[in-house]
Amino acid sequence: MVPKKVLVVDDDNLIGWALHKELTTKGMNVSIATTGEELLAAIREIPFDLVFLDIHLPDANGIDLLNIIRDISPETRVVIISGDGNSQGKERALSCGAVQFLEKPFDIGVVAKIMESTFLEFSCKRKHWRYLCDIPLRLSVLAPSREEDQFDLESLSVRAKDVAREGVRVKTEYPLKEGQGVRLRIADEGDPFSRMIPREASAEVVWAVPGNGMSIAGLRFVTETPRSA
C-alpha cells in the first residue's frame, strides 16, 4: 500500500516535530513547511493527501491558504490548527473547506483519530485513485481567443504530474485558463508511465493556478471536443 502523503505547516518547531514523529510512526510520508511560501511551493509539486495547517503563519493566513490549496489540489484534505479556539474561527475554517479544526494545545493522540476519520471518508468518496508521474506531453489549445493568436499554441510542452482515469494534473509555462478546450498527445511513447494516459485525448481545463514562471492546471478528459471559454 502506498503511504499517505502528509504536509505539516507550522512555524512552531515543537509542534512540527511532534506531528512529524506521530505521523511517521503511523506509516505516513511526512513533509514539513514553516511558511505559506513553502507550503505553496510544496503543494504545486506534490498532491498531498492531507495538510495540517496552522492558521497563523509568519507570511500568510491559513484560511487564505486553504482557498488556494483547494484550487491547486482539490482532493487534498486540510486540518486547520489554531491557538484561538473561538467558535467563529472554527466555523470559518470549516465553511472554507477544512475537514477538522485542531485547537492548540492538543493531545497528540487525537491526530491518529483525525487521520483515521479523514482517510476513511476520503476513500469512500473517491471513485478512482490518482498516480504520481512525470510524463512529457504535447498540448494544443483548441479555438484560441484573439489575444492568444499571437502565440504558437499548436504544440506546447507540458508535464503530467499525476493522472487518474478521469483526468490529469499538468505543469506548464503557458498560463492555461479555466474552461479552455485542449488536445493532449504523448510526447514520448517510450515513457513507462505513458500507458496511464490516452495516446491522444481531448480535455477541458477545470482549474488553473499561476505560479512563479510555471502554472499548474487540472484537466478533465472529455469524449467530445470542449468549447473554449
Domain limits, CATH 3.40.50.2300, in the chain: 5-125
Torsion angle of alpha carbons 157, 76, 120, 160, nearest 10°? 0
Look at domain 5-125 and name its CATH class.
alpha beta
pLDDT for 24: 92
What pTM was computed for the model?
A: 0.61
For residue 198 the three cell numbers come to: 490516452
Look at domain 131-222 and name its CATH class.
mainly beta
pLDDT for 190: 60
- Which residue do the cell numbers 512563479 mark? 212
Q: Is the confidence at residue 222, as pLDDT, over 90? A: no
Contact assessment for residue 131 and residue 140, using Cβ atoms and an 8 Å cutoff? no
